[in-house]
Amino acid sequence: MEKHSLGSKVSAFLDKMIFKTRPENRICDIGGNIIDLPENYLFISLLTSDETDKLYTFNMMNIDIRNISIWPELQDFIAAAERFLEKEKWESIGSFNELEYVLEKIKSCP
């Protein structure tokens, strides 16, 4: 991987994911609070590596689902995720569609 042209980018994504998902680093990117209860924790992993896609700005987010109603970019995320799915840019590994799951989870929060 070190010799591949995208190797350093992949390593940076992996390092960020490992860092952000440690329990002590589960700080909500919306409200800034520590997410102390697992049932309130939603992690958005790598959605796209295309830096020109709007969805890129939502990569690697820790979300306390209690803060979704105050998220200023909520509608931007929903629109970008729906557009990404409509254009069939999303590829799932296996039968679980993470992007659809995250989108539905976010849309179902009050």
pLDDT class for 49, splitting at 50, 70, 90?
Answer: confident
pLDDT tens digits for 62-107?
999 999 999 999 999 999 999 999 987 777 777 778 899 999 999 9
Residue tagged 């840019």 (tokens): 89
pLDDT tens digits for 1-43?
566 555 576 678 788 888 998 999 999 999 999 999 999 999 9
Query: In the prediction, which pLDDT does 9 show?
Result: 67
Query: Comparing C-alpha atoms, which of 107, 97, 86 is closest to residue 47?
Result: 97
Which DSSP string do the residues of 43-86 spell out, in sequence order?
A: EE------TTSGGGGGTTEEEEGGGGGG-TTHHHHHHHHHHHHH
What's the pTM?
A: 0.84
CA 13 vs CA 7, 19, 81: distances in Å: 10, 10, 19
The tokens for 30 are: 């919306």
Query: In the prediction, which pLDDT does 25 show?
Result: 95
Query: Comparing C-alpha atoms, which of 53, 48, 49, 31 is closest to residue 40?
Result: 31
* 41 vs 1: CA distance, rounded Å: 31
Query: In the prediction, which pLDDT does 5 show?
Result: 58
Query: In the prediction, which pLDDT does 42 show?
Result: 96
Query: In the prediction, which pLDDT does 97 show?
Result: 86
Q: Is the pLDDT of residue 55 over 60?
A: yes
Query: Comparing C-alpha atoms, which of 43, 53, 60, 62 is closest to residue 85?
Result: 53
